[in-house]
Amino acid sequence: MSAIDFSLKGKTAWITGASYGIGFAIAQAYAEAGAVVVFNDIGQVQVDRGLAAYREANIPVHGYVCDVTDEKAVNETAARIEREVGVIDILVNNAGIIKRIPMTEMSAGDFRAVIDVDLNAPFIVSRAVIPSMIKKGGGKIINMCSMMSELGRETVSAYAAAKGGLKMLTRNIASEYGGFNIQCNGIGPGYIETPQTAPLRERQEDGSRHPFDQFIIAKTPAARWGTTEDLKGPAVFLASRASDFINGHILYVDGGILAYIGKQP
Ligand code: NAP
Ligand code: GCO
């Protein structure tokens, strides 16, 4: 049996919004797997901060300023990456925001802002890279989905709508471009320790755990939050030849949350 090909050697990977957090960890894993790594962030300050962090971690990367919701900027950045680095073989639509507001108190502008980053942007960026992937003979697109691609909860209506839509966009890209040897899959992280979830883990004044923190511990069979390290292997797998016959799949990396009714209080 031939060796299973998890290598990303010779591939160019663009991870959006990867100055820190999950995107940074995936960029690190891809560099370690042999890929040439590209990331973007919304402004020069953020990109410079990211470049410093990558240098600190001894990870070679190319950084670009690009707001993923800006169609013109995305198309120009995709073309620039292709000129300066190479055709994008692997795209990870990682950039995302969340606004935790009860729906009846949320403005339509706030709702649209979340949809813009978490759903419209993966469409815009994927559309910018697919033509060159087709010319090159194939590619990998990985969309950062969520527990909220499957579940709702209070205060995250916009985010759940976006991530549910992103699940179906993933399946549709797989359906429409699978014939061009493009595999489009999603990763659905559980609750991961990053800046995005920091408010849900803040210690209370009496030093006790945040109620939501305790809730997630009870909802997770592993009785812990995930870390960005937990996402590295799944991300490399979905970017590698080892997953060439997987398409339209959302790989939940959630410690078992979706399978578990939760620990009895
Ligand atoms: P994070 O810590 O908030 O980082 C998000 C990144 O996206 C930041 O670098 C941010 O840059 C960037 N970004 C936001 N808007 C952007 C825009 N318009 N253009 C370019 N970059 C933009 O988030 P995370 O926890 O690492 O999550 C990364 C992805 O995984 C997101 O899609 C999130 O929804 C998803 N996810 C997270 C979890 C979790 O538990 N953490 C679980 C499931 C899914 P700036 O800081 O400069 O704005
Ligand atoms: C929340 C959290 C979640 C996580 C993640 C879970 O407020 O419920 O932010 O949405 O970010 O998406 O998979």
Q: Determine if ligand 1 sits within 6 Å of the CB of residue 253.
A: no
For a pocket test of ligand 2, which of 99, 143, 148 has the largest count of ligand atoms closer than 8 A to its C-beta? 148
In tens, the pLDDT along 238-252 reads 999 999 999 999 999
Sequence-distant (≥ 6) Cβ neighbours of residue 166 within 8 angstroms: 93, 118, 119, 122, 143, 144, 145, 146, 149, 186
Q: What's the rounded Cα separation, in Å, for the pair 9 and 26?
A: 15
Counting residues of the chain whose pLDDT is more than 90, the rounded percentage is 98
Q: Which of 21, 52, 22, 26 is nearest to 38 (CA)?
A: 26
Per-residue pLDDT tens over the stretch 179-222: 999 999 999 999 999 999 999 999 999 999 999 999 999 999 99
Ligand 1 atom nearest to CA at 93: 32
Decide: 28 in ligand 1 pocket, CB within 6 A: no
| Catalytic residue status for 159 | yes
The CATH number of the domain covering residues in 3-190+226-258? 3.40.50.720
CA of 40 to the centre of ligand 1 (A): 12
Q: Where are the domains of the chain?
A: 3-190+226-258, 193-225
pTM of the model: 0.98
**pLDDT value of residue 251:** 98
